[in-house]
Structure 1
Amino acid sequence: MEELALIIFTICVQAAVGLMLFTAVAKQLNKDGIFKTAVAPAAGLAIVGLLASFLHLGHPIAAVNTLMGFATSWLSREIWFTSAFTGLTVLAVLLIYFKPAAKKAINIFIILAAVIGLIDVLAMASVYTSSSVAAWQSNSIVVEFYAAAISMGALLFLALSAKEDTGRMRKIVAIAVAAAFVIQAVAMIPYYNGFGASDNLALQQSHAILSSTTPAMVLKWAAILVGAGLLFLPAREKNKDAPIILGATALVVLGQAVGRYLFFAIMIVS
């Protein structure tokens, strides 16, 4: 698929942002927690996403030209914020592995990465909402991107930090994922359903594409719903909960990835 690099970029970076966000929350609840099994994968996902974004730009000269337009271009801001987020996350990983005693610095880098990452998600969404693709010109896309970051990041954190003392994080993650699902559904389902009633030819063509990919749309929402629902099963012993958490994580990541495929599939320029 032509837009595979963008799917990899947006999914990987948004998952990494969510991971760092929930790591930052967990660090506030457990000051002595290390959470390297969450921060290191976040850095890996961010690096993969950043590389995919540069691959999509094609020639190195095009990438340099894009970076020079921070003041006027959302694409430039997206790359700068992604680079800053990736750098802060990598620095946190290096400190965790090579200077674990520097807990204050580690905490600062994790919090900064989470904040910059959240700004990056907005920049990422703004690249598309300000484009000439009619189906993307809505604030619902901002909701979709934040919901993906929160739901994937929350569950990845829980799955990767199984051996840490995560305290109340299971409940926080369950509430966050459920809220993200509800808000995402409320924002996106009516918006996509409205394409068919529009007089805009591009939106009508996007609607036709969505109609032809109904099984994928059903898979998206069913996977996210079931994944979120698994977190509300009665809690069992820590090790016995692992299959449930892993299953929920796999389903939500699958659902969001399928949704991102559909997002790029309806790309019809006005």
Structure 2
Amino acid sequence: MHEWPLIIFTLLIQSSVGITLFTTLILISGADKLSAREKHRLALPAMLTAFIAGALGLIASTAHLGYPLNALHALSHFSSSWLSREIVFASAYLAALGLATLIALLTKRVIALLMVIAVAMGAVDIFCMSAIYVHASVVTWMHFNTYVMFGGTALTLGAVSGMWTLAARPMLAWGTVRRLAVMSIGVLIAITVLRLLVQPVYGNYLASLGGADLITFPHQPLEAYGQMAVTRFAAWALLIAGVCVTALSLHTQRFSRLRLLAGAVLILIAEVMLRFNFFSIH
């Protein structure tokens, strides 16, 4: 399948933004009583992970463009092209996150304002990324389900990362850790339910199209969507199982790291399968 660069790119960028979002939430809402050095120890591993994921995602995107300098050409159409806007905001996101990470490495301080700016740029980037496909001529993409799925991936993977940060860096008071973990689990459950609720609406939309897939020749997205039914249902089952296992990793006074890891693996596999299904259009 020739769309693997897009699968890798979208998943890495979205997971990077999600990690940055939940790291920032932990810093702002849970680490106010920590010293600057403790905040640095708490946040730096997640910041490095998010930056590396984002950088690798941008590298993967150039593979899809075919020639890296095409990215420079795409920037000239910012006022009319969602692709140009996506490149600009992805670059702005990575620049803000990279600067915050570099400062943290050099000074052992985390600048929360830079993290907030990075989150804002990342959120706009995911919106632009979604809009690229909603405004494409592939009928299986031209639905608000694309916004829900792309944003849902960022929140899902970000929430799992946030829980792992809380479990791996036990420097916060347990009451604070539990509150943040419950918030992360709540986001996981809520966004999974939302994504599932949208699927019948999306299915009705596809059913109403009839033979509209002919306009996207030589691609046959509706036919491909039907052929991927088993993979799609398996992915949803894995995602639900992963969310449940992740939620069960939180005990009264501790985390079960084994359950948390198992849940994270299941969720990651499900997200890859769902994204593979999204890009399978022929």
TM-score (ref. length: structure 2)? 0.87
Residue by residue over 1:55-86, the C-alpha shift from the partner in whole angstroms, topping out at 9 and shown as x without a partner, is 21112342221011111110011011111111
What is the aligned partner in structure 1 of residue 202 from structure 2? 191
Counterpart of 2:49, as a letter, is P
1:4-83 aligned at under 5 Å gives the runs 4-28=4-28, 29-31=30-32, 32=34, 33-34=39-40, 35-83=43-91
What is the aligned partner in structure 2 of residue 175 from structure 1? 186
Task: Please provide the CA RMSD for this pair.
Answer: 2.0
Distance apart, 1:239 and its partner CA: 6.4
Paired residue total: 264
Counterpart of 1:159, as a letter, is W
Distance apart, 1:157 and its partner CA: 2.4
Distance apart, 1:187 and its partner CA: 1.4
Residue by residue over 1:33-68, the C-alpha shift from the partner in whole angstroms, topping out at 9 and shown as x without a partner, is 331111110001000001111221112342221011
Q: 2:134 aligns with which of 120, 129, 146?
A: 129
Distance apart, 1:257 and its partner CA: 1.2
Query: How many Å separate the matches in 2 of 1:23 and 1:240?
Result: 18
Query: How many Å separate the matches in 2 of 1:111 and 1:211?
Result: 41
The answer to whether the aligner puts 1:219 opposite 2:234 as a matched pair is: yes
Contact 2:139 2:212 in 1 (8 A): no
The answer to whether the aligner puts 1:206 opposite 2:211 as a matched pair is: no
Distance 1:243-1:203 versus aligned 2 partners, 3 A rule: farther
Distance apart, 1:92 and its partner CA: 1.5
1:87-126 aligned at under 5 Å gives the runs 87-101=95-109, 103=110, 106-126=111-131
Counterpart of 1:149, as a letter, is A
For structure 1, the 5+ residue unaligned runs are none
Distance 1:155-1:234 versus aligned 2 partners, 3 A rule: closer
For structure 2, the 5+ residue unaligned runs are none
Query: How many Å separate the matches in 1 of 2:121 and 2:212?
Result: 37
Stretches (4+) displaced over 6 A: none
TM-score (ref. length: structure 1)? 0.91
Query: How many Å separate the matches in 2 of 1:241 and 1:154?
Result: 16
